[in-house]
Amino acid sequence: MVFPMDPDTVSHGIQLAVAPVFLLTAVSGMIGAVAQRLARIIDRARNVETRIKQGTHPAEDADGYAELAELRSRGLLANTSIALLTACAFLIGLTIVVLFLGETIDFPGLRISIFSFLGGVVCFLSALICFMVETFIATRLLNFGRKKR
């Protein structure tokens, strides 16, 4: 089956499909930021594990294990955020494809594009919540020179 390609229709389809691309840019930036945080979490966990294995300060082992538990939580939140951002990127990409096809070949995908776009936005917002909780946990660990309670 051959579909006639009117240049104006194709141009409008591209214009319509370009708007969600800006969200993809934000998602890729967030993935980079969260991946960097995850790398720092992993590096810190390795340092704490090494310190515990050396056993030079047995009194500090309990603190080390407590810190590892918090690092594990932070890593889980960062991984969840990355997974949600990846799902968001996929759904926004699907939205772009469906919008373009709907505009150029009369593909009846309005319902698909609505759900894929909204799903992408929900994934993005959920990833932001995970990111926020991870940063709260990270900053809670800081004492800025104050004595521990």
- The verdict on residue 36 lying in a domain is yes
pLDDT digits (tens, 9 = 90+) for 1-49: 445 566 676 676 666 667 788 889 999 999 999 999 999 999 999 999 9
Q: Which domain holds residue 112?
A: 8-140
Cα-Cα-Cα-Cα dihedral sign, residues 47, 48, 53, 55: positive
Q: Which of 27, 4, 5 is nearest to 14 (CA)?
A: 5
Task: Please enumerate in sequence order all residues whose Cβ is within 8 A of that of 35, keeping only pairs 6 or more positions apart, or say none.
Answer: 78, 82
Residue 43 half-sphere exposure toward CB, CA atoms < 13 A: 6
| pTM check: above 0.85 | no
Instruction: Report the number of distinct structural domains present in the chain.
Output: 1
Residue 29 half-sphere exposure toward CB, CA atoms < 13 A: 7
- The verdict on residue 34 lying in a domain is yes
pLDDT at 145: 60
